[in-house]
Amino acid sequence: MSSTPSSRNPTPRRPSPPLAKALRAASGAVQAVLTGTPLTEALEHVPATLRPAAQDLAFHTMRRLGRARALLRLLVPRRPSNTLVEAHLLVAISLLDVRPEDKHAPRYAAHTVVDQTVAALGQNRRLQSFKSLANASLRRYLREHEQLMTQLGSEPEAHWNYPRWWIQRLRADYPTQWANVLAAGNVPAPMTIRVNRRRMLRNEYQSLLEGMGVHATPVGSDGLVLAHALPVTALPGFDAGWCSVQDAGAQIAAPLLQLQDGMRVLDACAAPGGKTAHMLELANVDCLALDNNEHRLSRINNTLQRLGLKAQLEVGDAARPQDWWDGRPFDAVLADVPCSASGIVRRHPDIRWLRQPAHVDRVVSLQKAILDALWQVVAPGGKLLYVTCSVFPAEGEHQAQGFMARHPNARRLPAPGQLLPASADAPPHQQHDGFFYALFSKA
């Protein structure tokens, strides 16, 4: 599982389209999340001219959703019957409730937010009857802001902007660090790229960026953390395969396997292909990229073609090797398994609102099945790297210990273990999402 760049920019960016149109598009995306659709999927249906502005507003709302919901309950005790109206109000409240320390939040004059929210509702004939409700509740927020803050008190979801179960789980897992983990997840992540060493040296690419006025800090063996985000089309040589967007935490995976030319390698849960590509950039290996979704497999193919790399692509379930394995063992297996994605909430702030405790339990069972199944395809003396982009130990250290207990012929090798997301004030070279890494060799 790979990460995508966040909507972070060096300074707050006002959308070019009228704010009412951007609010309407963002509210539609927020409504989709409230009904169970991932935000990135919802934003794909927004017209291209509106998408950047809608993304900024929707991402900000997801990072402030707990607080915005609590305020909406105080302002409108009876929940709006229409979820799209609710979404409009949540977006508006999150924009009004911007504090001075919110460095990356979009900023608009309060009266502009109120007027444009009412205008956005008026653009939809089905929602015009809710204009008065929106106007009255938002103006009440402006009048009674101090009293409303007092009424909020210390309600956990309003304070931390995470579901209550998520907060409780992290408090139990990290008694001394839980607050820092929550706070780190509320700060937009920097844009990090991986330079394709087959096309260009990192320091050469860094010089190209500096020539454009974009400061970049080296991270890992091939990465650069950009001081501010750019559209991928603005990255030098992106279409020619000079670089890829990939979080610094994800760039740890491929080097851990210490790949050598001629090795037979499996990327067992490969989509969207960032780690597959990194392995192929590091060595001339015979690589099988496996994924259980044909559409996602096509994304891997597009990535490899852009970078000038080749691998065998196959649709298959990592937990059922009997359906795709030819019996020839692999020298190295990368198992970047399905997980809660709780470590990448900096980039995907909607994840916290889409997940439920039962989802974590389901992926824990799936991870165990995949690990046990893949162990049989590892060659004697070969390695298996277990990876999740999760901060929950149930998906990390607990899985690793359980695997060792079930497989006496597994020896654990040095690997980072649990990586927690970096705090907002961490230096650029320490900025990464939350990951877990465990490396095993087969006796």
CATH code of the domain covering residue 423:
3.40.50.150
- pLDDT of 32-58, one tens digit each? 999 999 999 999 999 999 999 999 999
Residue 63 has pLDDT above 80, yes or no: yes
Domain membership of residue 168 (yes or no) is no
Domain membership of residue 68 (yes or no) is yes
The answer to whether the CB of 394 falls within 8 A of the CB of 170 is no
Do both 153 and 255 map to the same domain? no
Residues 18 and 425: their CA atoms lie apart, in Å, by 34
Residues 410 and 424: their CA atoms lie apart, in Å, by 38
Residues 313 and 261: their CA atoms lie apart, in Å, by 19
Q: Which of 161, 188, 206 is the last residue of a domain?
A: 161
Residue 88 is part of a domain; what is its CATH number? 1.10.940.10
Do both 32 and 146 map to the same domain? yes
Per-residue pLDDT averaged across 294-300, rounded? 92
Do both 31 and 143 map to the same domain? yes
Do both 155 and 286 map to the same domain? no
Domain membership of residue 235 (yes or no) is no
Domain membership of residue 322 (yes or no) is yes
10 Å Cβ neighbour count for 286? 16
Positive or negative, the Cα torsion across 96, 97, 99, 103? negative
Do both 293 and 404 map to the same domain? yes
Q: Is residue 82 helix, strand or coil?
A: coil
* Amino acid at the residue 260: Q
Q: Which of 135, 161, 187 is the last residue of a domain?
A: 161
Do both 293 and 425 map to the same domain? yes
Do both 262 and 377 map to the same domain? yes
Positive or negative, the Cα torsion across 82, 84, 90, 95? negative
Structure confidence at residue 406 (pLDDT): 98
Residue 101 has pLDDT above 50, yes or no: yes
The sheet carrying 378-388 orders its strands as 312-315, 286-291, 264-267, 330-336, 378-388, 435-442, 410-419
Q: What is the separation of C-alpha 73 from the centre of its chain, rounded to a whole number of angstroms?
A: 29
* Amino acid at the residue 436: F
Domain membership of residue 331 (yes or no) is yes
Active site residues: 389
Structure confidence at residue 4 (pLDDT): 41
Residue 10 has pLDDT above 50, yes or no: no
Structure confidence at residue 14 (pLDDT): 43
Return the DSSP state at 188: P
Do both 155 and 268 map to the same domain? no
Q: Which of 161, 182, 208 is the last residue of a domain?
A: 161
Do both 157 and 263 map to the same domain? no
Domain membership of residue 323 (yes or no) is yes
Into how many domains does the chain fold? 2
Residue 21 has pLDDT above 70, yes or no: yes
- pLDDT of 106-141, one tens digit each? 889 999 999 999 999 999 999 999 999 999 999 999
Structure confidence at residue 9 (pLDDT): 41
Q: What percent of the chain has pLDDT over 70?
A: 96
Least Cα distance to 287 among 275, 272, 303 occurs for 275
Residue 3 has pLDDT above 70, yes or no: no
Across the chain, what does the average pLDDT equal?
A: 93
**In this structure, what token pair is assigned to residue 335?**
């198992």
- Pairs from 177-183 (Cβ < 8 Å, separation ≥ 24): 177/420, 180/420, 180/423, 181/391, 181/420, 181/421, 181/434, 183/423, 183/424
Q: What percent of the chain has pLDDT over 90?
A: 89
**In this structure, what token pair is assigned to residue 357?**
């405790």
Do both 147 and 286 map to the same domain? no
Do both 269 and 408 map to the same domain? yes
Residue 89 has pLDDT above 50, yes or no: yes
Domain membership of residue 384 (yes or no) is yes
Structure confidence at residue 95 (pLDDT): 96
Domain membership of residue 176 (yes or no) is no
Residues 152 and 142: their CA atoms lie apart, in Å, by 15
Do both 277 and 391 map to the same domain? yes
Residue 97 has pLDDT above 50, yes or no: yes
Structure confidence at residue 77 (pLDDT): 87
**Residue-number span of the structural domain to which 352 is assigned:** 248-442
Residue 152 has pLDDT above 70, yes or no: yes
